[in-house]
Structure 1
Amino acid sequence: MSGDKRRFGFWNPAPTRHSLLEDAQGIFTGSMVAALGLSLIGSAGLVTSGIAGVAFILQYLTGYGFGFYYTVLNLPFYLLSLSRLGKAFTIKTFLAVGLTSLITEIQPRYLMIETLDPIWTALLAGILLGFGLLALYRHRASLGGLGILAVYLQDRFGWRAGLVQLAFDTVVLAAAFAVAAPFIVLCSVIGALVLNLFLTINHRSDRYVAV
């Protein structure tokens, strides 16, 4: 019975490390929720933060799929993850990025929304991405890219991951003026603020320690 409790930690009322099953559902759920947010952003022609924002900019410039750019742009960051955050974090992040990219690409086949107000979409997508990232962070994973660096800096120096991400996002969103109208960029900034404030408030290592 004790072996079952270790494997299925959610049945165990005592503090325990995340089981393999818990990590699997956390990564799947986080990726699904984040992919929904990314799909809304793409459908509304918005830009988001981090590497995902760069991937959207490249998609709008070239016409190639978001998932392709998002996967390729994340590759260099796995080296940092492997050397600084460990093998387990890197593998889980690799799976989360791949799953999120795949779901984002295929989701328009199964979910179509005819009317998307840019401001409302930005708010909703920011919240969805925040929930998705929070689920991944709590299972020692991320959506790669700048998120890897943000998590590392929080673990190493205690800097809030949300604030670190916000600094990088300023540069990415400034580049969005090359592919989007000022109003769309403004909506994208609102979404990025919602996302990063959500993470700043909810992702704190002194309140939740993911193991």
Structure 2
Amino acid sequence: MSHTIKPLLEMWSRDPARHAPLEDAQGLAAGCLISALGLSFLASVGLLTGGIAGLAFLLHYATGLPFGVLFFSLNLPFAYLAYRRLGPAFCGKSFLAIAVTSVLTDLQPHLLTISWIHPAWASVLGGLLLGFGLLALYRHRASLGGIGILAVYLQERLGWRAGLVQLAFDLSILALAFLVAAPAIVFYSAVGALVLNLFVAINHRADRYIARR
């Protein structure tokens, strides 16, 4: 085989149970871009989401601090679980994804302006895009940290569906949102969280997609 063609072919893994570095790179990049876009739809109408992103949104709306900074900072305590329980590769890729998504989310207002969108539509689109983004990251052994790391850990150790685990946490966080947000905002936020987590629960199964790295 040509010395020129062979390295190109080796950029893609021939083993269906493993990802090559190039495959991981495109999966992580796509997951971060799509997740940041989903967060921008939610933020455009003041909606929340669950997990660490939900807490970051609450603090962002309350303090005015950049969402990306809060999102990254709140995820730092989960580094230990990611490193010790899911491995250094998962930990490294997850925190790279968190950093990239945080930066993209803060840059988004300078790159995209949503002049008007109904909160119901924003919740559906935002939840669906976040679901696609998380699915891409999960399938390349990464997450957006926080509850996502815990959800992947529980799925791999106990067989609990990651999407359903995350949904339970998300609904708990959204219940706290009633303390600081209008009921309509919390309702539409819950719709987005439901769309996101049902999408992940239906489409992400450890026994259906086995690629590892």
TM-score scaled by length of structure 1: 0.95
Identity score, percent: 60
CA distance in 1, matches of 2:41, 2:180: 17
Letter in 2 for 1:7: M
The 10-residue stretch of structure 1 (115-124 or 169-178) with the greater mean CA deviation from structure 2: 169-178
1:49 matched residue in structure 2: 50
Moved over 6 A (4+): none
1:98-122 CA-partner distances (Å, limit 9, x unpaired):
0000000001111101002100000
Question: 1:74 and 1:209, CA in 2 relative to 1: closer, same or farther beyond 3 A?
Answer: same
**1:176: Cα distance to partner?**
1.1
What SS is found at the alignment partner of 1:209?
A: coil
**1:3: Cα distance to partner?**
5.5
1:89-142 CA-partner distances (Å, limit 9, x unpaired):
000001000000000000111110100210000000000000000000000000
Aligned runs of 1:16-55 on 2, under 5 Å? Answer: 17-55=18-56
CA distance in 1, matches of 2:17, 2:139: 13
CA distance in 2, matches of 1:36, 1:106: 11
Aligned runs of 1:81-92 on 2, under 5 Å? Answer: 81-92=82-93
**1:178: Cα distance to partner?**
2.4
**1:66: Cα distance to partner?**
0.5
Q: Is the 8 A contact 1:6 1:16 kept in 2?
A: no
Counterpart check, 1:5 vs 2:6: no
Letter in 1 for 2:155: Q
CA distance in 2, matches of 1:6, 1:15: 13
Counterpart check, 1:168 vs 2:172: no
Counterpart check, 1:74 vs 2:68: no
CA distance in 2, matches of 1:210, 1:39: 30
Q: Is the 8 A contact 2:41 2:122 kept in 1?
A: yes
What SS is found at the alignment partner of 1:205?
A: coil
What SS is found at the alignment partner of 1:7?
A: coil
Letter in 2 for 1:185: V
Q: How many residue pairs get matched?
A: 208
CA distance in 2, matches of 1:18, 1:116: 38
| RMSD (Å) for aligned C-alpha atoms | 1.2
CA distance in 2, matches of 1:78, 1:30: 20
Q: Is the 8 A contact 1:126 1:195 kept in 2?
A: yes
Q: Is the 8 A contact 2:35 2:134 kept in 1?
A: yes
Letter in 2 for 1:63: G
Where do 5+ consecutive residues of structure 1 fail to align? none
